[in-house]
Amino acid sequence: MCNLPDEIKPAKIILIGRTESKLQAKGAQLKAANVPFVYYICDLSLPRIIIKTLKTIVEKESDIGLMCLNAGTWIVKRKRHFQEDGLEQMYATNFLHMAMFIEGLKGLMTETAKRTQTKSRICIST
Ligand SMILES: NC(=O)c1ccc[n+]([C@@H]2O[C@H](COP(=O)([O-])OP(=O)(O)OC[C@H]3O[C@@H](n4cnc5c(N)ncnc54)[C@H](OP(=O)(O)O)[C@@H]3O)[C@@H](O)[C@H]2O)c1
């Protein structure tokens, strides 16, 4: 990222994850590359936390031109694992949070695209 020309450097990166030390480490790399960033701590398997995080993002952030959804977990045991809230863990972590992020941030992404006269994009890896 250090080598990217200014015109294609991201204006700001919003990091979302559950492990603050990892977010800080990633943030240090972005800082070294002179890319503005902010991070939000969020356990992506927990819808009630996701709803709060999405609300905060919509309140605080003004632009989202690209949303990358790639958090996940790979549980290969035969028995399905259910969380305390009753959701099956792989469903919650690998799929439900992605639908919630798309639903929660598509308004802001649409506004960004209109204001900047470009496209807003969503990239999913699951
Ligand atoms: N690697 C493969 O062969 C493969 C194959 C098929 C599909 N996939 C899918 O591709 C995606 C990425 O895989 P990967 O191999 O890059 O996995 P990875 O290295 O284990 O990374 C997964 C990331 O998801 C985060 N994460 C997991 N549960 C979370 C939660 N509840 N809340 C917030 N963050 C959470 C992890 O955060 P922490 O670092 O904080 O734990 C980690 O940063 C996953 O969806 C995976 O299921 C991978």
Ligand 1 pocket test: pick from 46, 73, 125 the residue with the most ligand atoms within 8 Å of its Cβ.
Answer: 73
pLDDT at 59: 98
Q: What is the pLDDT of residues 60-111, one digit of tens each?
A: 999 999 999 999 988 777 788 999 999 999 999 999 999 999 999 999 999 9
- Which residue's alpha carbon is at the smallest distance from atom 1 of ligand 1? 74
Residue the block writes with tokens 């035969």? 78
Q: How long is the chain?
A: 126
Helix (H, G, I), strand (E, B) or coil at 13: strand
Q: Which residues have any ligand 1 atom within 6 Å of their CB?
A: 17-19, 22, 43-45, 70-74, 93-94, 125-126
Mean pLDDT computed over 23-41:
95
Assigned CATH class of 6-124: alpha beta
Q: Find the 94 Cα to ligand 1 centroid distance in Å.
A: 8
pLDDT at 121: 96
Q: Which two tokens stand for residue 88?
A: 């099956």
Q: Find the 114 Cα to ligand 1 centroid distance in Å.
A: 32
User: Is the entire prediction scored with pTM above 0.75?
Assistant: yes
72, amino acid identity:
G
pLDDT at 2: 60
Ligand 1 pocket test: pick from 74, 91, 96, 100 the residue with the most ligand atoms within 8 Å of its Cβ.
Answer: 74
pLDDT at 76: 79
When the pLDDT of each residue in the chain is averaged and rounded to a whole number, the result is 93
Mean pLDDT computed over 27-35:
93
Angle 85-77-87 from CA coordinates, rounded to 5°: 15
pLDDT at 79: 85
Residue 2 CA to residue 13 CA, distance in Å, equals 14
Residue 48 CA to residue 83 CA, distance in Å, equals 13
